[in-house]
Amino acid sequence: MDFAQQAYLGFCQIFDLTLNKVLIMILILAVGFFARNLFSKGVMIVIKKFTEHNQSSMREAYLINLMKPISFTFVIAAFHLAGLVAEFPMMVALFYQSLLKTAITFAFFWGIFSFIKPLSQLTRKAKKGNLSEEIRELIANLLEIIVVILGVLSIMQIWGIDVAAFLAGLGILGMAIGFAAQDTIKNFFGCIALLMDQTFQKGHWIKTDSVEGMVEHIGFRTTAVRQFDKALVHIPNAQLADAAVINFAKMTNRRVRWVVGLTYDTPSATLEKIVVRIREFLEAHPKIETDPKKVMTLINLEKFNDSSIDIFCYFFTKTIQWKEYMDVKEECVLAFKRIVEEEGSSFA
């Protein structure tokens, strides 16, 4: 008798199994795995047909994630039926039942965990409520952590571990960890403060005393800002929450502030014409905001400088995009120069 036969006989004796029971158990497990694979393939076919008409690879990925815990239940059911056929001895049966309960609990919390991100994405696309994408992501991450903790505690309870005593021990440990990780806790609450106040969002252009650039990511501990030299800077959230932050993305308009100096030999009547023509040009420009309810526009002779008579130009563009703003400024520079030249004056 070889080793494999000896091992098989020993296994059957320990678990009180006969050849017929083993064969039936193998058949049940094979059917269970086949049903799981069949279910998975069927769902994949439905998903592909659905996404052919709705171009959403993200939704497809989430549906696949949800499919995994559901298909896992076919395997659990197969092992449950196989256990009923086996009729294990009392101690083995109790252990086997605990394993099945653990698997069922794991599948249940796995399903909830897999459903959190899709739900967050669906609510984001529905655009219901005033929550920003970052706050939705933060809530989703916190819910995932809570689900994992509840799942672990539930499995511990299945195996007879005193959860209350365990949590009490964690409380003492948590105090020690919290004392050692004060900065991390500050940064976490700094993250919540930034998101709740909507100080900035991903993609916003911000400026502080230490950094200026585009926000790439808002994490639990730090915020990643891509500077205009393409360097990536990670700033602690607690530092950002306490700092003065200029958010250029929340500007309604961009300001232009110029002083145009003309020579002293320019006649007074010509000065008046130049000022009037500049005002008329700005009022007619489609990309310049001149509504007095929204912005203040000032084109005035300001003062006698050492070598020029200065015209103060103060106005706003409608766009806040940097490239468009620069294009509008260029148009204004050329237009102002033409006006001055056409009126027979010159710059000082």
pLDDT tens digits for range 54-99: 555 556 666 667 778 888 888 888 888 887 877 777 777 788 888 8
pLDDT tens digits for range 126-155: 555 555 677 777 778 888 888 888 888 888
Q: What pLDDT, on the 0 to 100 scale, is given for residue 297?
A: 93
Residues 23 and 116 in one domain: yes
Residues 244 and 264 in one domain: no
150 within a domain of the structure (yes/no): no
Q: What pLDDT, on the 0 to 100 scale, is given for residue 268?
A: 92
Parent domain of 218: 187-249
143 within a domain of the structure (yes/no): no
Q: What pLDDT, on the 0 to 100 scale, is given for residue 131?
A: 58
Count: domains in the chain? 3
Q: Is 65 exposed, middle or buried (0-12, 13-18, 19+ CB in 10 A)?
A: middle
- When mean pLDDT is compared across 44-58, 238-252, 334-348, the lowest value belongs to 44-58
Q: Tell me the whole-structure pTM to 2 decimals.
A: 0.56
Residues 210 and 322 in one domain: no
Residues 291 and 224 in one domain: no
**Cα separation of 222 and 307, whole Å?**
52
* Residue 330: CATH number of its domain: 3.30.70.100
Residues 119 and 195 in one domain: no
165 within a domain of the structure (yes/no): no
Judged against a pLDDT cut of 60, whether residue 9 lies above it is answered with: no
Residues 210 and 265 in one domain: no
224 within a domain of the structure (yes/no): yes
Q: What pLDDT, on the 0 to 100 scale, is given for residue 5?
A: 56
**Cα separation of 262 and 280, whole Å?**
19
Residue 249 is classified by DSSP as G
174 within a domain of the structure (yes/no): no
Residues 8 and 124 in one domain: yes
Tokens read off for 202? 């991903």
- Report which of 149, 256, 240, 151 is spatially closest to residue 200, judged by C-alpha positions: 240
Residues 13 and 68 in one domain: yes
**Cα separation of 337 and 334, whole Å?**
5
Q: What pLDDT, on the 0 to 100 scale, is given for residue 48?
A: 66
170 within a domain of the structure (yes/no): no
Judged against a pLDDT cut of 80, whether residue 18 lies above it is answered with: no
What is the band of 181 on the pLDDT scale with cuts at 50, 70, 90?
A: low
Residues 237 and 334 in one domain: no
Residues 123 and 7 in one domain: yes
Q: What pLDDT, on the 0 to 100 scale, is given for residue 279?
A: 94
